[in-house]
Chains A and B, each alone.
Chain A
């Protein structure tokens, strides 16, 4: 395959340096969830970088300078596409990289380069743009079902408010106990909050961004930002780590300027409400619970302490930690939009989380991401180890239920 277009076109200046800076030491493999379940070094971070260097050499190397761009081995390209899309983009490799390569951002950029060349995305990911165009969400579900099945009747939503709540597609369609918990807790805090009508609350763009399909992003972001601006929003709250990641890091880029509101994860709002005495629990919970950090919440946007503060505030609760926690957390298997394509990997990784939680004798596994919630629940089907899985806001919601909203 001949390539006139440089393989570095989509990379930022920093990422070009990063590709070069990898020492191929392989430390990252010890932290890669895909390695944990496949043991296949061909899909490892240093191999992806080694292959991508070959591609750059073909379009920008010495031979290419004198004799024009060279051929790129088709098999190598196929291996690379598989490796870069099998990755969960959790970023644990970068967190433990002796050089400090920001892989959580690098892998999606390399995917974008593959999309530009017609080699990506793969499998079900390819249908995401059409689904989002048609119905506003990657699951191609009707907008009428976005809030109706789970939104608590007693919780009031204001037409205009300084706080807005974005439910997100995965929460609304695949992790409904979680978003129901969000709404209950927001109602209990008592600050007025607004939401976009279901047909206006479209995809945040993350599934498109993470699979390298950027065409619709600017339009989606503009529609959402303008919708919240029109409602006088100053703080946009969301419980999905992937959504808050793209909102805080990438929306300003696609919108073309700073956002007219700040982005907050729901645990930040709840932790503050607990401190200020705005949220009171009606029950105690005498359980040992273990909290799983979502990759895009910790390594992505640095929200680590607030979920723990919220959990510790529950009377009677004992909080346990995974061996890998905080910035070093292990992916649940659902990341990088790989869960729909490499289902077996995702289930196997999810089971590692379940197994560790059971080994630590936790009564309950607490999650705070709809993708984690959907995948870890799926991983428990047919698995020998069992544990109760609860989203953090689902738990808080159950602790305050009965409270006047």
Chain B
């Protein structure tokens, strides 16, 4: 079995584990949804939608409680998203125009990502005012820091053959395993991404829903004991 095949099998496994986790969480939510909620439903107004969008995309709630951390977290999440979208060019054929359009912002984001992560880690681990650092979160942040640093190194110094990378990635999508690119940095980068995928936190799906509930609840709070 070639290295390419091994990596492709590993990629499918990591991907399957991620979806198995997601489906299991979905099953727990679905079971809970079957139970009748005893909580009064609050209306979802345009204002609630607008505030939720701001909470999800601008992390407004974090900004309110910790502006110093917000800078790093927003830079990290925004640049991570751009970098992910930029990488779609390896997995899509033909590459859509919008993916080409975000190549430059994606490249800039690639340079922002590692310092943003270092900033978060410094604040989390070395400042007096932070009282808690989740070991699981620290592991994920360090993992993404290594992955993103390898990405920058490949972009600046040790460029792998991009045709080989595209063929390899396209082989994963089309279930036709291709040879792995002959680049040690790429292999490390790819393997660490496979390690990351099963550990991706499911709050990326649930937090936006909870943020919306929080906005609805805030709006409804006054009505608990006051007239409209």
Can you pick out 19 interface pairs between chain A and chain B where the beta carbons lie within 8 Å of each other? A8-B31, A13-B29, A18-B210, A21-B203, A21-B207, A21-B209, A24-B134, A24-B137, A25-B137, A26-B134, A35-B131, A60-B28, A62-B21, A100-B213, A101-B214, A102-B214, A248-B224, A264-B225, A301-B221
Residue interface mask A150-173, B partner, CB < 8 A = 1:
000000000000000000000000
In the complex, which residues of chain B have a beta carbon less than 8 angstroms from the beta carbon of A102? Answer: 213-214, 217
In the complex, which residues of chain A have a beta carbon less than 8 angstroms from the beta carbon of B142? Answer: none
- B206 in the interface (beta carbon within 8 A): yes
CA–CA, A15 and B214, complex, Å: 12
Contact of A96 among B21, B25, B65, B215 (CB under 8 A): B65
- B24 in the interface (beta carbon within 8 A): yes
| Complex contact A249–B224 (CB within 8 A) | yes
Contact of B210 among A44, A100, A264 (CB under 8 A): A100
Binding site for B on A (CB under 8 A): 6, 8, 11-18, 20-27, 29-30, 35, 39, 41, 44, 46, 50, 56, 60-62, 65, 96-102, 105, 244, 248-249, 253, 263-265, 268, 300-303
CA–CA, A23 and B33, complex, Å: 22
Give the distance to chain B from A164, nearest Cβ to Cβ, in Å. 16
Shortest beta-carbon contacts, A-B, top 3: A100-B214, A26-B132, A24-B134
In the complex, which residues of chain A have a beta carbon less than 8 angstroms from the beta carbon of B202? Answer: 20
Residue interface mask B34-65, A partner, CB < 8 A = 1:
01011100000000000000010001011001
**Closest residue to B21 on the A side, CB-wise?**
A62
Contact of A26 among B21, B32, B130 (CB under 8 A): B130
Contact of B129 among A30, A35, A41, A97 (CB under 8 A): A30
CA–CA, A61 and B61, complex, Å: 31
| Complex contact A302–B224 (CB within 8 A) | yes
| Complex contact A29–B35 (CB within 8 A) | no
In the complex, which residues of chain A have a beta carbon less than 8 angstroms from the beta carbon of B61? Answer: 97-100
CA–CA, A18 and B203, complex, Å: 9
| Complex contact A303–B225 (CB within 8 A) | yes
Given contact pairs A99-B211, A102-B217, A302-B224, A21 touches B206 in the complex (Cβ within 8 A): yes
CA–CA, A18 and B32, complex, Å: 12
In the complex, which residues of chain A have a beta carbon less than 8 angstroms from the beta carbon of B137? Answer: 23-25
In the complex, which residues of chain B have a beta carbon less than 8 angstroms from the beta carbon of A268? Answer: 225-226
**Closest residue to A31 on the B side, CB-wise?**
B65
| Complex contact B28–A101 (CB within 8 A) | no
Contact count A vs B, C-beta below 8 Å? 137
Binding site for A on B (CB under 8 A): 20-21, 24-25, 27-29, 31-33, 35, 37-39, 55, 59, 61-62, 65-66, 69, 129-134, 136-137, 201-203, 206-207, 209-211, 213-215, 217, 221-226
| Complex contact B222–A302 (CB within 8 A) | yes
| Complex contact B210–A27 (CB within 8 A) | no
Give the distance to chain B from A243, nearest Cβ to Cβ, in Å. 12
Give the distance to chain B from A156, nearest Cβ to Cβ, in Å. 27
Contact of A20 among B31, B203, B211, B214 (CB under 8 A): B203
CA–CA, A35 and B21, complex, Å: 33
Q: A100-B213, A248-B224 are in contact. List 8 more A-B contacts (CB 8 A).
A: A8-B31, A13-B29, A16-B28, A22-B203, A24-B136, A35-B131, A46-B134, A300-B224
| Complex contact B62–A98 (CB within 8 A) | yes
Give the distance to chain A from B211, nearest Cβ to Cβ, in Å. 5
| Complex contact A30–B131 (CB within 8 A) | yes
CA–CA, A14 and B24, complex, Å: 17
In the complex, which residues of chain A have a beta carbon less than 8 angstroms from the beta carbon of B214? Answer: 97, 99-102
**Closest residue to B124 on the A side, CB-wise?**
A26
CA–CA, A303 and B223, complex, Å: 10
In the complex, which residues of chain B have a beta carbon less than 8 angstroms from the beta carbon of A61? Answer: 24
Contact of B38 among A50, A100, A253, A265 (CB under 8 A): A253
In the complex, which residues of chain B have a beta carbon less than 8 angstroms from the beta carbon of A97? Answer: 61, 214
| Complex contact B225–A16 (CB within 8 A) | no
| Complex contact B131–A29 (CB within 8 A) | yes
CA–CA, A302 and B221, complex, Å: 6
| Complex contact A14–B132 (CB within 8 A) | no
In the complex, which residues of chain A have a beta carbon less than 8 angstroms from the beta carbon of B35? Answer: 12-13
Given contact pairs A6-B31, A102-B217, A301-B225, A41 touches B131 in the complex (Cβ within 8 A): yes
In the complex, which residues of chain B have a beta carbon less than 8 angstroms from the beta carbon of A26? Answer: 130-134
In the complex, which residues of chain B have a beta carbon less than 8 angstroms from the beta carbon of A96? Answer: 65
Interface-central residue, A21, A22, A61, A268, by most chain B CB under 10 Å: A21
In the complex, which residues of chain A have a beta carbon less than 8 angstroms from the beta carbon of B134? Answer: 24-26, 46, 50
CA–CA, A62 and B27, complex, Å: 11
| Complex contact B66–A27 (CB within 8 A) | yes
CA–CA, A8 and B35, complex, Å: 11
Give the distance to chain B from A22, nearest Cβ to Cβ, in Å. 7
Given contact pairs A17-B210, A21-B209, A98 touches B225 in the complex (Cβ within 8 A): no
| Complex contact B27–A302 (CB within 8 A) | no
**Closest residue to A102 on the B side, CB-wise?**
B217
